[in-house]
Amino acid sequence: MAKTLNAAEVAKHNTAGSCWVILYGNVYDVTNFLPQHPGGSKIILQLAGQNATAEYDPVHPPGTLEEHLPPEASLGHVDPDTLPENEAQKEEQQLETGIPPLENLLNLDEIEDIATRQISRKAWAYYFSAADDLKSKRMNNEAYGSILLRPRIFVDCEKCDLSTTFLGHKVGSPIFVSPAAMARLAHPSGEAGIAQACSRFGVMQLISNNASMTPEQIVADALPDQMFGWQLYAQIDQKKSEAMLDRVSRLADKIKFVCLTLDAPVPGKREDDERSQSIASTLPITSAVQAADVVRPRGGGIGAQLFFGTSPKLTWKLTLPWLMKHTSLPLVLKGIQTHEDAYLAYLYAPQVKGIILSNHGGRAADTAPPAIHTLLEIRKYCPEVFEKLEIFVDGGFRRGTDIAKALCLGAKGVGIGRAALWGLAAGGPAGVERTLEILQTELKTTMRLLGAQDIQHLGPIHVNARMIEQHIYDGPAGLEKLKMWVSSKL
């Protein structure tokens, strides 16, 4: 019979030498696990002797306890009558409950507004935050307003087909969900809830390396033809990445490609996230924390914690061969921000099948260009890239008109990240469905007004990008030097 422990007894074990925590009403001795915790021991020690459920649950996939702790680490149950009221629980109880019906929300701004009032301050800060002064984040949203549409008349627009292909696989829409970490901060259904919504529209989901659920859990209820990709942050400990690649390869009937993220080799300075940090970080610094031997940078919120262990040493010469050795899945590179890097990826085809133009949602280098700038830069300096690589665009899409403009300029698909999380926070899987429904309806309207019956009929003739072209890089192309460099390495 399981032992029942008093919360006051648990509270005594709050040092690195004896660290107990309460999770889901059970008491665990995690002393021996402290050095192994991927996020470092400090975050655990800040909750030593306390109920850590509110901190733990949204950011750990189900089954994590059983995977990492031996049975003897479970010490028994805590007497619920002895638990103090948790401040995080107080905050959650104060969140607004009366939201309007989802069908009454008409655009993504309204969905984000509802989501902001539904989630904790910590979750909002992690989702909303961007680097430094948020200039890149704002430019991501604003750039599409400088591109004008060129509607056509006397064109039969009764039918409109959004279906297309990604890497040879048919999808129902050119919209996909970009890697969006920690979805269970928004809603208990997490990434699986996003997958459920995507299934309705045939939308591809690119699963975050830092998802709050396991890949197996996310794809478990997927439809037979539903498409997923897997985002990879290459780790300093390569064996961890290799183990994950092996795990993903066993899900190849669902996960169709690996996406190596390159636009954030180090975390950007996200001040909203740092101010919020976590519930634990607002607690008094205990002797346990002071005694911990933790060598890691001070400050940082959830984002910085998730980046710990990510390798900053990736190179064309070493990383691509290593990656190709450990997966047979098609490879897509995420985070291209210049025409030079797009051209380098082109030179590494067919090992590289596609690229995602992205500045990490404005969360890495502030004042890095919006992805639409990079798309125009590629069109200007090295249009041959379109012949070998599928080019996807990520970041800043708020309207169907934005999506149409990117498709007209050559994007194969368009990714939404925060929008999916806001939808999930506003209404669970149904909120994500509403987000996708709004975007798809707006996109269809735009295509009809442009006179395009399907995605293949969209082209540069449908837009006027002269206003935004003045902001595009105007220096030397430098392609011959890049070609010679790659030739010497291959």
Closest CA to 136 of 264, 34, 43, 20: 264
Q: Are the beta carbons of 6 and 268 closer than 8 angstroms?
A: no
Given the residues 13, 60, 187, 360, the one annotated as active site: 360
Distances (CA, A) of 225 to 81, 139, 201, 217, 220: 49, 36, 12, 17, 13
Given the residues 127, 144, 187, 263, the one annotated as active site: 263
Closest CA to 233 of 270, 251, 258, 253: 258
Q: Please say if 24 is a catalytic residue.
A: no
In whole angstroms, what separates CA 378 from the centre of its chain? Answer: 25
d(CA 368, CA 335): 11
Q: Please say if 233 is a catalytic residue.
A: yes
d(CA 61, CA 21): 18
Question: What is the side-by-side strand order in the sheet with 18-23?
Answer: 4-5, 74-78, 26-29, 18-23, 14-15
- The 3-state secondary structure of the chain reads CCCEECHHHHHCCEECCEEEEEECCEEEECHHHHHHCCCCCHHHHCCCCCECHHHHHHHCCCCHHHHHCCHHHEEEEECHHHCCCCHHHHHHHCCCCCCCCHHHCCCHHHHHHHHHHHCCHHHHHHHHCCECCCHHHHHHHHHHHHCEECCCCCCCCCCCECCEEECCEEECCCEEECCCCCHHHCCCCHHHHHHHHHHHHCCEEEECCCCCCCHHHHHCCCCCCCCEEEEECCECCHHHHHHHHHHHHCCCCCEEEEEEECCCCCCCCEHHHHHHCCCHHHCCCCHHHHHCCCCCCCCCCHHHHHHCCECCCCCHHHHHHHHHHHCCCCEEEEEECCHHHHHHHHHCCCCEEEEEECCHHHCCCCCCCCHHHHHHHHHHHCCCHHHHCEEEEECCCCCHHHHHHHHHCCCCEEEECHHHHHHHHHHHHHHHHHHHHHHHHHHHHHHHHHCCCEHHHCCHHHEECHHHHCCCCCCCCCHHHHHHHHHHHC
Q: Are the beta carbons of 25 and 80 closer than 8 angstroms?
A: yes
Given the residues 56, 233, 346, 381, the one annotated as active site: 233
Q: Please say if 56 is a catalytic residue.
A: no
d(CA 228, CA 207): 7
Active-site residues, by number, are: 233, 263, 360
